[in-house]
Amino acid sequence: MGLEDEKKGGEASGETSDRENRLSRMNSESSLSPTEEDDDDEDRKPELGPMIALKEQLEKDKDDESLKRWKEQLIGVVDFEDVGETPDPVVKILHLKIRSPDRDEMVLTIPDDGVPNPKSPWFTIKEGSKYTLVFNFRVTNNIVSGLRYNNTVWKTGVKVDSTKAMLGTFSPQAEPYQHVMPEETTPSGIFARGSYSARTKFIDDDNKCYLEINYTFDIRKNWQ
């Protein structure tokens, strides 16, 4: 009887162990294999609380010096002239710059309508050259949370590059902000040279788009 109980106990233990092993394998496989939900995580809008005007937030407990210092540490010193009554932040992309050790800095001014001349490339960059993108922008009215840069590039209708970069969270101030991207190198060779089309967007955590710009650029043997 004792052996039978032990046998039954062993069988039950073996079944449990088998189930645990199967579950372990399933969890391991699911953690290693990408799913559609994983792909959608970046585009899924987070659940955020209601937005409050920054002026209202700053005026709360304004006589409490300790709270005032804590808020300044959290969001920085805010220029009240750039703070509005509404909760929506305002972000204006002033211009983009391309820096390369091979040439003078290129400053790309954003057209008022956000559309560069469609009849010619917005800029030309030399193949195999190192370059750095620099963004200058101004924030007013309220804090912008999770500002990020998305850029997609196509050649002859085929997507060849996609970049997503978090710029950060910024409070209103009179002086423009500047963000410098990591250095990159343009592709080279006969298949890399030619005309490209691109779309650049600046969006925040609420998926509010502050600039969407469609343009073309060229990769050539030499700078122009």
The correct answer on CATH 2.70.50.30 for the domain covering 50-218 is: yes
DSSP assignment letter at 45: P
pTM score, two decimals? 0.66
Tokens describing residue 63: 């006589």
pLDDT value at residue 44: 55
> For residue 216, which of 142, 115, 65 has the smallest C-alpha distance?
115
User: pLDDT, tens digit, for every residue of 170-210?
Assistant: 988 889 999 999 999 999 999 999 999 999 999 999 999 99
Among 136, 116, 129, 131, residue whose Cα is nearest residue 217: 116
pLDDT in tens, 93-136: 999 999 999 899 999 998 877 788 888 999 999 999 999 999 99
- The domain locations on the chain are 50-218
Under the phi-then-psi rule, with left for phi > 0, alpha for psi from -120 to 50, and beta for the rest, what region is 129? beta
CB atoms within 10 A of CB 100: 17
